[in-house]
Amino acid sequence: MSARFDAIVIGSGAGGAAAAWRLCQRGCRVLVLEAGPWFDPDKDYGLDKPDWEARSFPVKPGSAGRHRYGEMQQLDPQWDDLRSWHHETGRLVLGDRRAVRIGYSHVRGVGGSTLHYVGEAHRLNPHSMKLQSEHGVGADWPFDYAELEPFYLEAERLIGVAGPSAVGDRWRSQPYPLPAHPVSRASRTLGAAASSLGLSWSPNPRATLSQAYDGRPPCNYCGACVRGCPRRDKGSADQTFIRHALQSGQCEVRARSTVLDLLHGEQRVIRGVRYVDEKGRHHFEHARMVIVAAGAIETPRLLLANRSALAPQGIGNDHGQVGQHFMETLSWTSVAMHPQAQGSYMGLPADAICWDFNRPDAIADVVGGARFYSATLDADLMGPVAYATRLIDGWGAQHKQRLRRSFGHALAVGAIGESLPHPRSFIDLHPSDRDEHGMPLARIHSHVDDMACRRLRFMAKTCRDLLKAAGCADLRMEMGTYDDFASTHVFGTCRSGVSARDSVCNAQNQIHGWNNLLLCDGSTFSSTGGGESPSLSIQALALRAVDRFLQAG
């Protein structure tokens, strides 16, 4: 069978886009099949429109996936201080079970979930890559930070990451391509609070341009990047890796093209894929390598759904590992009002960060660290409508007066912590519910254990301490993962490792036993780090995986 493409990449998010770009750079002809649509920043995003606050990230045909959830965990009164609450309405999650209030909020589209990500661009903490051998929990990565460092540099250069010179544990062989962004007034107030508590508070490395770069303008600090960046300065994968892949002339992207089958013969060699386009027509494409980059939920779904005589439990699943070790986002946000105006609706979101507790041994009584950051965007308090509906009480003239007096006073501190695998956190296929193409839906099972709750308790206390030290007496709301499932960062469901008995892919991201089938997305993470945002690591890993595959010939 003659193949028009050397490689097929399934999914164009953080990992798929980076893999496609690298393949093009290396002279390969690449087909990217993306289930979701294209988004046009000029037409689709509304941050530059007067009614911006009424527009969230747009939903287009094919851009929202469907998922199911297993039975949610029973809540335990010993952790009641970790319940999400609001100053007027009380508990945000009613009843005694965890809830899924927002659900799996990832976008399907060319660029994947980077289209609506905030744009933090973190490297993993080197100390968090050997959790099993050094701390007896989770799993070790099959390589170390030094192996990944050159690929981090390349990804940062392509994106135009802006970051500070001091980077703590994450040593760098070269500076960031762009200088750090200025820190906003609200973050400076939090920075003074951090220093009064003896904590550090530094500019957060961001995939957002601090200067014009690569034909894109610098950020204008309009501030609500999760709604889609109309200026294209946010380094979403469509504006960076995919754009350059297309410019190479080596890449074709087919949007609204959902892969259903990974095709193989009698050997464990993938020959190509079957996919369905937006009109429901089925197509076959062949290539000598296939990269699955459908994200940490959809990648295991695709592998589990592809059963055959050679792979009776699904591809890569001889040892029942596909879908296991699911790690979600362990997060906390505290919001309070400051007596003075802070202009906290202005500036780059998550512009500053405290890494002091990020190492796996940094928090007493638990393994796994956390980081703290300015989080007005996480609390969705970027405009007057949010204040009027969620922060300010009263009616009529009195309400308006209070709104005028309070706008810009809200401060929010967020924390994200290490998420460790747990036998009750995994992805499987729903036994009966299917999508429009007849493929079983992914079912998400999530469990937060006692160690995670202890870590969360430390995170909550530190967020409150920071707000108090900043001069806020008045907590208004708090949200956390203990009672509300959070999917912002998802990992681990096809983790990389040395043995097929406890991992799905090897150190080169090849599925054990299926050498021309690579995984390039969040599913391959062996551990999550102490709360780092994952996309930059997913991209560095993808560049490395492609290079190692091509070098092996």
Residues of this chain that interact with ligand FAD (CB under 6 A) are: 10-16, 33-36, 105-106, 108-109, 112-114, 116-120, 226, 258-259, 293-296, 298, 302, 488-489, 521-522, 533-536, 538
CB of 224 to ligand SF4, least distance (A): 6
Rounded to whole angstroms, how far apart are CA atoms 322 and 37? 27
* Amino acid letter for position 456: L
Q: Of these partners, ligand SF4, ligand FAD, none, which one is at the site of residue 538 (CB under 5 to 8 Å by kind)? A: ligand FAD
* Inter-CA distances, 366 with 214, 355, 454, 483, 524, Å: 43, 17, 7, 20, 24
Q: Which of 241, 205, 335 is nearest to 18 (CA)?
A: 241
CB 124 to ligand FAD: min, Å:
11
DSSP letters spanning 408-472: T-EEEEEEEE-----TT-EEEEEEEEE-TTSPEEEEEE----HHHHHHHHHHHHHHHHHHHHTT-
Alpha-carbon distance of 319 to 388, in angstroms, equals: 53
From the CB of 91, what's the least distance to ligand FAD, in Å? 23
Q: Report in angstroms how near the CB of residue 401 gets to ligand SF4 at its nearest.
A: 30
User: Taking the alpha carbons of 112, 117, 120, 125 in that order, is the dihedral positive or negative?
Assistant: negative
Q: Please, which residue, 121 or 304, has the CB nearer to ligand SF4?
A: 121
Contact partner, 408, from ligand SF4, ligand FAD, none, Cβ < 5-8 Å per class = none
Nearer to ligand SF4, 193 or 229 (CB): 229
The torsion angles phi and psi of 387, rounded to 5 degrees, stand at -60, -45
What is d(CA 540, CA 461) in angstroms, rounded to the nearest whole number? 34
> CB under 5 to 8 A by kind: which of ligand SF4, ligand FAD, none does 370 bind?
none
Smallest distance, ligand FAD to C-beta of residue 507, A? 18
Task: Please say which residue, 129 or 453, places its beta carbon nearer to ligand FAD.
Answer: 129
Which of ligand FAD, ligand SF4, none does 223 bind, CB closer than 5 to 8 A by kind? ligand SF4
- N residues, the chain: 553
- Contacted entry of ligand SF4, ligand FAD, none for residue 368, CB cut-off 5 to 8 Å set by kind: none
Binding site for ligand SF4 (CB under 6 A): 47, 208, 219-223, 225, 229, 231, 233-234, 348
The smaller minimum CB distance to ligand FAD, of residues 302 and 429, is found at: 302
Q: How far is CA 299 from CA 199, 296, 490, 509, in A?
A: 39, 6, 12, 13
Residue nearest to ligand FAD (CB): 13
Residue 32 interface partner, choices ligand FAD, ligand SF4, none, CB cut-off 5-8 Å depending on type: none
Which of 118, 139 has the CB closer to ligand FAD? 118
CB under 8 Å to 90, separation ≥6 — which residues?
A: none
- CB of residue 333 to ligand FAD, shortest distance in Å: 13
552: phi then psi, degrees, rounded to nearest 5: -75, -10
Are 520 and 298 in contact by the 8 Å Cβ rule? The answer is: no
- CA-to-CA separations, 208 to 185, 247, 309, 370, 443, in angstroms, rounded: 19, 21, 47, 23, 34
Quick one: what does residue 234 bind among ligand FAD, ligand SF4, none, with the CB cut-off 5 to 8 Å set by partner type?
Answer: ligand SF4
Cα-flanking dihedrals φ and ψ of residue 159, to 5°?
A: -80, -35
357 or 373, CB closer to ligand FAD?
373
CB of 227 to ligand SF4, least distance (A): 7
Which DSSP category does 202 fall into?
Answer: E
**363: Cβ contacts below 8 Å, ≥ 6 apart:** 357, 369, 370, 455, 458
In the bound state with ligand SF4, the residue whose beta carbon lies nearer, of 225 and 460, is: 225
- Shortest distance (Å) from residue 337 CB to ligand SF4: 23
Q: Is the CB of 230 or the CB of 492 nearer to ligand SF4?
A: 230
User: Which C-beta is closer to ligand FAD: that of 112 or that of 142?
Assistant: 112
